[in-house]
Every structure is written in C-alpha cells, then in structure tokens.
Amino acid sequence: MKKIRAAIVDDEQANLHILRNILQTQCEGVEVVWEADNLEDAKNSIRENEIDVLFMDIEMPPNNSFQLLEAIAQPNFEVIFVTAYQEYALRALKMAALDYILKPIKGSDIVNVIEKIRKNKKNKLGELTGIIKHYVNGIPENFSKIVVHVQDGYEVIDINNIIYIEALDSYTKLRLVGNVSYVASRSLKEYEEILSEKGFYRVHKSYLVNLRHMMKIIKGVAPSVVMTNGACIPVSTRKKDVFFTELKEVIYF
C-alpha cells in the first residue's frame, strides 16, 4: 500500500494535535509530513516537501487559508477544508474541494476522506486545486464551469450544457445535453445562488432551468416551459407572474 503523505494547517494547537492523532492512529498508511500554525510556515513547507493531501482550517486571523492557495503556483495535492464555519464560503468550496470537514473533528470523517483519496483512480489533483484558486474570493463573474463529484473522480461541466437541475430529496440531478445526467450532493438552493447570474431561473421549488435551453412557454392554469431535450418543467403558481414579467425583459413576446 502506497503511503499517503499528509500535512496540516491550523492556528489552534489543540486541533493540530487532534487531527495528527487521528491520522497516525486511525488511518493506515498515512504519514504526517509537516504541520503549521501560520500561513508563512505552511507556504515554506509546501515548497520544501512533497505531499498528497493538505488539511486546512479556513479562518486563521488575521488571514485565511485562501491566501495560501493563491500563493501556490502549481499545486499537485488534494485540499481538505477543516472548518467550524458551516456557511462561510462553502458554496464555492464545495464545488471544487475534494471534501470539507466540520469541527469538532470526528475520526470517521478523516478515515472516510483518506479512503476517498485511495480510491480516486482518476486523479485530477492539480486541475482541481487550480479550480479552487478561481473560487477563493467568491465565484468570478466569468466562470463557465462547475465540478461535480462522481464515483470514480470528477466531471468538469460547462454550465452552457446544463439544461436544467432537479431537486431529489437531499440530492440534485443535473440534466445535460446529449441525454447525460449526474446526481450531485449539492442542494438546489446552492446551485441557484451560484448560477442565477448565468441565465438560470428557479421556476419551481424543484427545478432550476437554463433559459438558453428553453424552447417553448406554456401559459394558462398549469404554466410550464418545454426544454430543448423535450422535458416539460412546471412553473409554480407563486412564481409565474414574476417569471413571465422578468422574461419579457430579455425575450420579446
């Protein structure tokens, strides 16, 4: 079994100790190469030591770990965020990071992450960490791709190829051109917040549609829109008036 070389960045010594202890005692074949409680030491250690995975806290006053990612020219390791902030920047981070773990740290969470790294045969480390860099200060206005976790790795998806996104309990299904679909663990609300500025509209509590793929508008008692793949998506009664009003601002009818 190939050993996984890990590193830890956290400004709290107690968290460094807890995470190091879990990695050394509960995760087989893991070596903690270095740990740091500040960004400058972490940056120097990254330059001097090759690692497979970096566990990082987000908030490290007066700085944050995003600044460290920005300073890395060509990262070639996985990034796992370990944070006490459930809401802080996770909309962007969850689209690209391999995983994130909420404090207080649980041994089972760390073990699962290590197993995920081992099973990830199609390793896209440099590419994905590079994508993280584009999201570190919020999603840029010109972003055109999102990352979806799949069973054997990741899919980098052009948002223009998404026809609509459907809510499925705690999951979502992305329907793409070419009869392709992916199931993701992100909520529909998260996708709405990220994609609403990119021509996507929440027409129903269960549907977020790409207006570029809207082919037909059906009004009346049960309004709906027909998409380019033939799917008929309902428009909720509560949203229909606002939807049609806003639609007239961009489409003449």
What does pTM read for this prediction? 0.49
With beta carbons less than 8 A apart as the criterion, state whether 147 and 96 touch.
Answer: yes
How far is 65 from 38, CA to CA, in rounded Å? 9
| pLDDT reported for residue 121 | 38
Partners of residue 157 on adjacent β-strands:
146
pLDDT of the residue at 88: 52
Instruction: Please give the structure tokens belonging to residue 245.
Output: 């009003």
pLDDT tens for each residue of 130-185 = 444 444 444 445 567 887 876 666 778 889 999 999 998 778 999 999 999 988 87
H helices present in 139-236, as ranges: 188-195
State how far the Cα of 78 lies from the Cα of 123, in Å rounded to an integer.
Answer: 9
> Which comes out higher in pLDDT, residue 117 or 154?
117
